[in-house]
Every structure is written in C-alpha cells, then in structure tokens.
Structure 1
Amino acid sequence: MEKEEKNKEQKQKNIDSELKEHEDTGDENKASEHGEILNDQLEEGKAVFGSSPGFIALSSFTAGLEIGFSFLLMCTVYTYFSGKVAEDTIFKLMTFVYPAGFILVILGRSLLFTEQTSLLSLPVLNNKQSITNLLKLWGLVILGNLVGGWVISALLIWIGPALGIFNLLAVEKIASHVTSFSPQVILVSAVLAGWLMGLLSWMLSSAQETVSRILLIIMITGIMAFTSLHHSIVGNVEVFAGLLSSPKITISDYMVFESVALLGNAIGGVVFVALLKYRAFVYSVD
C-alpha cells in the first residue's frame, strides 16, 4: 500500500515536471503543442479557483446578461423574416447572429459555465483541487449565469416589443423549438454542445490574435446553432423568456430543460475534453 502511494506521488511529480517543461514560450509563429495548451488551461483553471467568490459571482452574472444579446438578435431575425421565408429556414438564419453573445462573453473574459466546465475540471484531474471545491465553484458560476439570464430575459421581452424589433410570438416559437424534444434527446444534444464548448476553450488557448479567436467562436457556436444543439445558458434565456411571456411554456418545461441541459453540458466538457485531453498527456509521461 505504501509502495503504491509512493508510485502515485512519483507519477504526479513526473506529470507536473513535464507540464512545467511545456510552459508557453510566447512564440506566436510556432503552433502550440498539446502540453503547452494543457499547461495554459491548467494555469487558467487554477487562477479561477483562486479568485474571490465576489468576483466569480459578479463575472458569472455578467456572462448571463451578455449572452442575452444572442437571444435579442435571434428574436429580431425571427420577427423580420416571419412570413417571408419558411420557419425552418428562419431557424437556420439565426446561425449568423447566434455567436454574438458568445463573442461578448468570451472576449470580455466573463465566466460562462460551458466554457469553464472542462477548464475547471483540469486542476481536479491534476490533483490540485478537490471535487468538492469544483462542485462549489460550478454551483456559483451556474447560479450567476442563471440569474443574469433571468434578468436579461425579463428586460428583453419588454424592450423588444416596445422598440418594435420583435414580438412575443418570436419568443414563444424559439422557446417551443428548444423544449420540443424529449429529455433523452436534450441530454445527448447537450453533451455534444458541452463537448464543442470544451473544445472551444481548448483551441482558444492556442489562438493568439483577436481575429482568430473570433473566428473560432463563430465556427464552434455556429455549429451548435445550425444543428440546434442545446446550450444550457443561452437556453436559459430562451426558455425563461418563453415562460414569462407565453402560457405554452410551463415551469415544468423550464425545469426539465435546464436541469438536463446543465447535466449534458457538464458531461460533454468534462468527459470528452478535460478527461480525454488530460489522460492523453499523462500516457505520454513515463
């Protein structure tokens, strides 16, 4: 037993030593290696763990607000094209505006749960944080994102019709589109969305220029929008706005969607990005 513990400690030292050797050199002309990206992600994740609860709560709340700009544009697109093109075409056209909120959140460095899911899991996999601390941090980020989403939802369903840029039918249609699937379908869809968001976080660590980062965000979130994959934080705004403005969206619809989408997003980010990327690196360490 003691020998096994010593072997584990030595293995961890080897991993940490190997990661140290892969610190970013700052050479923008050289493609980042797997170890460099992993090291950057680990350091960023540890920095979030070291932040004050007040910062985390406020940054998460801000992200929940800012992601609402995607919803604002989606409702506007639906209302503008309604009656001019087929409804399924309108939902595909929303792909072009869906990334807007993500660009604001990610480049503005606010804390978005689905972007942070895999990032915050890495210090746990690297034995630098406990699962308990991870769950507490996730809970705070999720709460901030949800509350921000509730506030922006209430604001948008008032200001949209007041400005004449969209009507409440658009809100109802978008919310119904998001919740029209079975929980099993939403779960798998959310896993795929969480997987993509984890990959986005991973790839952003290797992107140096702002233009490159914007293009990555557009590509990944565009895939989610075009394929109607379920994102728990954008979906929170979409479905909660429908709950506030339409009798067709019930509290049960909202609770089932949000709980299943959060679970799926978490699985996608942790299992298919953090765990696989980390284990791939560990297997390369003697």
Structure 2
Amino acid sequence: MKEDKEKHLEDVEQEKKQKQIDSELKENEDKSDESKPRKHGEILNEQLEEGKEVFNNSTGSILLCSFTAGLEIGFSYLLMCSVFTFFNGKVAEDTIFKLLTFVYPAGFIMVILGRSLLFTEQTSLLSLPVLNKKESVSSLLKLWGLVILGNLAGGWAMAALLIWIGPALGIFDLIAVEKISMHVTSFSPPVILVSAILAGWLMGLLSWLLSSAQETVSRILLIIMITGIMAFTSLHHSIVGNVEVFAGLLSSSKISFSDYLTFESLSLLGNAIGGVVFVALLKYRAFVYSVE
C-alpha cells in the first residue's frame, strides 16, 4: 500500500513537471524578430513540432519521401565518382579524396531543401517527441525503420543506375567506384562506429542549426559547412555510404556482402547514437534543466 502511494505521488510529480515543460515550450513559439538570434527554447519548440508532423504522416508518404532522399543523395556520389575519374593519375589519390569535399554536399542540399526524409537529419528531430513524452519508443523505432528502408532502397536503385550510366556516358569508370568503396570500408569496425557517431552528431547539429537560419543562402552554407567537415575528415555517413559501398558490391570482387553488411549496420548504429545522445538528449535536457 505504501509503495503504491509513493508511486502515485511520483507519477503526479512527473506529470506536473511535464506540464511545466510543455507550458514553457508553448511560450517559446517563434514570435521573435527575424533580425534577432533565436532562443534555445524557440528552436527546440520548432524541432518538436517538425518531429510531430513526421509522426503524423502516413506510412506511404514516409516511405516515398525517404525513398526519394535515397535517390537524391546519389547525386553526391555521381559527382564524387566523376571528380575521382577526372583527377585520377593527375594528382595523388589522397589529394583526390580531399577534393571530393567540394562536391559531397550537393546531394544533401537537394534532400534537405527539398524536404525529403533523410535518416541522419531526422534522427535527433524524431527523438524529441519521445523525450517530450508525446510519442513512444516503439513508434520511434517503427518510424526509423521506415525511413531507413526507404533511404536504403533509394540508394540501391541509384547505385545500380549510376554504375551503368557513368561508364556509358564516359564521365567515370568502375575503378573510381572500387576505390571509393574500398576507402569507405577500409577501417576497423570500432573506427567505423565511432566515426559514424561523430557524423550523426554533426547531422543532428545541422538539423538544429537549420532551424535558426531563415534565408536559403544561409541554409545552403550551413549544409556545405557541416557535410564538408564530414567529407574532408572521412566520417562515415550511413546513407551516402550505402550508395558508395553497394555500388562497389555490385561492380567489384574486392567488396563482399560481409563488407557491406558490416559497414551499413555499424554506420546506422553510430549515426543514430550521435544524433540522439549528443544532440537531441543534450539539447532537450539543457532546456528541461532551465525550466526546473
């Protein structure tokens, strides 16, 4: 009886705290002057609302938007292979991989500004309604599953198309496909996991930063900056990497299915950890502590 009473009091206290948090978030609805920097609470409130909107979308809509993102991110890969082939033999190979930084953001710009659903951009965003107790963990995992499936399927389709059309048009060869795939998978599993955590952290920050940027030019510059860091430092992104490694799997004997499976599972896990822990959880808890 005593334990039940204590649990009831604890539940009441938790409910009271949640109402206080929701009330504070409501007060942070964006009514500020665009010329002034946005407050932490205003950005968090907008991110929460965006996350809730995705949860309310139909399964078909989520799959289609995420499939589209998987296709569109492939344009980064198209440019990367083209740049690699153009410079191959003219400059050192390690220099070529650094030059890819300049074209890597292209697909991200298309996906993010086009409002398609990219797993790494949505990871922290979709976690916020769960942290705010408006959605369950099971519904989050189901939604993540749909977005990942759509992203991967779009990437598979784009990889299959590009390894045919690239050589057919003479814009890149299969050597570029193999080299890029091997570069992505050449690291040990622990390195891939930690690298993917850092990439997920950056992508979660990108989603947060984009909420504070109003102009299209500012948003494009933010996308270039964040994804450029990922490209220059060779951090592992599960969705771009899906196209890179799957294309190698289809066209090169040096990339095995085990290589693909290991890379994709570790990069998805790492990206999710980075986005949820280092962005969604920390940003949300920082706001909650300010309320309490």
TM range, smaller chain: over 0.9
Within 5 A, what are the aligned runs for 1:259-278? 259-278=265-284
Q: Distance in 2 between matches of 1:25 and 1:84?
A: 54
Unaligned segments of structure 1, at least 5 residues: none
Corresponding position of 1:152: 158
Deviation at residue 27 of structure 1 after TM alignment: 2.3
Corresponding position of 1:220: 226
Report the AA paired with residue 49 of structure 1: F
Report the AA paired with residue 193 of structure 1: A
Q: Distance in 2 between matches of 1:225 and 1:219?
A: 10
* Among candidates 250, 256, 260, match of residue 244 of structure 1: 250
In the alignment, structure 1 residue 184 sits paired with structure 2 residue 195: no
Q: Distance in 2 between matches of 1:285 and 1:74?
A: 46
Q: Distance in 1 between matches of 2:229 and 2:269?
A: 20
What SS does the corresponding residue of 1:284 show, helix, strand or coil?
helix
In the alignment, structure 1 residue 14 sits paired with structure 2 residue 20: yes
Deviation at residue 2 of structure 1 after TM alignment: 1.1
Deviation at residue 149 of structure 1 after TM alignment: 0.1
* Among candidates 47, 53, 56, match of residue 47 of structure 1: 53
Q: Distance in 1 between matches of 2:8 and 2:131?
A: 22
In the alignment, structure 1 residue 97 sits paired with structure 2 residue 103: yes
Deviation at residue 3 of structure 1 after TM alignment: 1.0
Corresponding position of 1:207: 213
Within 5 A, what are the aligned runs for 1:68-87? 68-87=74-93
Structure 2 length-normalised TM: 0.97
Q: How many residues align?
A: 286
Structure 1 length-normalised TM: 1.00
Corresponding position of 1:174: 180
Report the AA paired with residue 96 of structure 2: I
Q: Distance in 2 between matches of 1:77 and 1:25?
A: 45
What SS does the corresponding residue of 2:291 show, helix, strand or coil?
coil
Report the AA paired with residue 133 of structure 1: S
Unaligned segments of structure 2, at least 5 residues: 1-6
Corresponding position of 2:10: 4
Q: Distance in 2 between matches of 1:80 and 1:26?
A: 48
Please give the per-residue CA displacement for 1:145-191, whole angstroms capped at 9, x wherever unaligned.
00000000000000000000000000000000000000100000000
* Aligned Cα root-mean-square deviation (Å): 0.5
Aligned structure 1 segments of 4 or more residues deviating by more than 4 angstroms: none
Q: Distance in 1 between matches of 2:73 and 2:248?
A: 16
Report the AA paired with residue 101 of structure 1: G
Corresponding position of 2:33: 27
Q: Distance in 2 between matches of 1:132 and 1:254?
A: 27
In the alignment, structure 1 residue 137 sits paired with structure 2 residue 135: no
Q: Distance in 1 between matches of 2:153 and 2:33?
A: 40
Please give the per-residue CA displacement for 1:208-265, whole angstroms capped at 9, x wherever unaligned.
0000000000000000000000000000000000000000000000000000000000
Corresponding position of 2:4: none
Please give the per-residue CA displacement for 1:193-217, whole angstroms capped at 9, x wherever unaligned.
0000000000000100000000000
Deviation at residue 28 of structure 1 after TM alignment: 1.2
Report the AA paired with residue 196 of structure 2: A
In the alignment, structure 1 residue 111 sits paired with structure 2 residue 138: no
